Chain A
Amino acid sequence: MKQHLGRQSGVQKVEVSLIDGKVDVTPKEDGQIDPAQLLKATYDSGVSVAEMDVTARGKVVKDSSGNFALQVSPNRSYQFAGNDLSQGLESLAGSPTVVTLRGQLYKKPGGKKKPDNSQPLKLTILEVQKKE
């Protein structure tokens, strides 16, 4: 799995801890990393993902449907899954403020439900680390 993930675009380093089932991925600075692709690559290597958390820096944007999202590159943004923390960031939409936050992009559905990889990943904000 480590080699499989290491071959994905935008990945600089992969560290796997067999004891606690943790996989740490350090992205390259080129901003090409695609979390959805990492999820797929992990499944393809025969391992199932229980949770995926990211630390990301970006600007808060509002799309044409009125949804708020974090734009992490000119062509990639992640819609917020609404919670108190995301509501606190909504006023920053359209401003040049760059926020750094930790959030959850994926959590395995409960029970024996098959994960649905066709839906775009939504970002549940866990912690707002910085606004600059």
Chain B
Amino acid sequence: MNIRKLNKLVLFGLMFATPFVQAQITHVDMRVEGMT
């Protein structure tokens, strides 16, 4: 019973956490001036 509850908790946790795990800046590029 406790394991079932734990599984549900993990599942709900993953459902809510996933969108934020996926969201991120994956690359940044800059064009700069005055570099020597």
**Contacts from A to B (Cβ < 8 Å):** 1, 16, 18, 20-27, 29, 31, 33, 35, 38, 42, 46-59, 71-74, 96, 98, 100, 108
Contact = CB atoms under 8 A, between A and B. Distances in A.
Interface residues of B, number: 17
Contact of A27 (B23, B25, B31, B35): B25
A10 to B, nearest CB: 8
Tell me the dominant secondary structure on chain A's binding face. strand
Interface in B8-36: 19-20, 22-36
Tell me the dominant secondary structure on chain B's binding face. strand
Given A57-B22, A74-B20, A98-B22, A50 B27 contact: no
Interface of B: 19-20, 22-36
Contacts of A26: 27
Nearest to A106: B30
Nearest to B35: A47
B28 A53 contact: yes
A102 B27 CA distance: 9
Q: Please give me the 4 A-B residue pairs with the lowest Cβ-Cβ distance, nearest first.
A: A58-B23, A25-B28, A55-B27, A31-B24
8 contacts: A21-B32, A23-B29, A25-B29, A31-B23, A47-B34, A49-B30, A54-B27, A56-B23
A50 B33 contact: yes
A33 B28 contact: yes
Contacts of B23: 31, 56-59, 71-73, 98
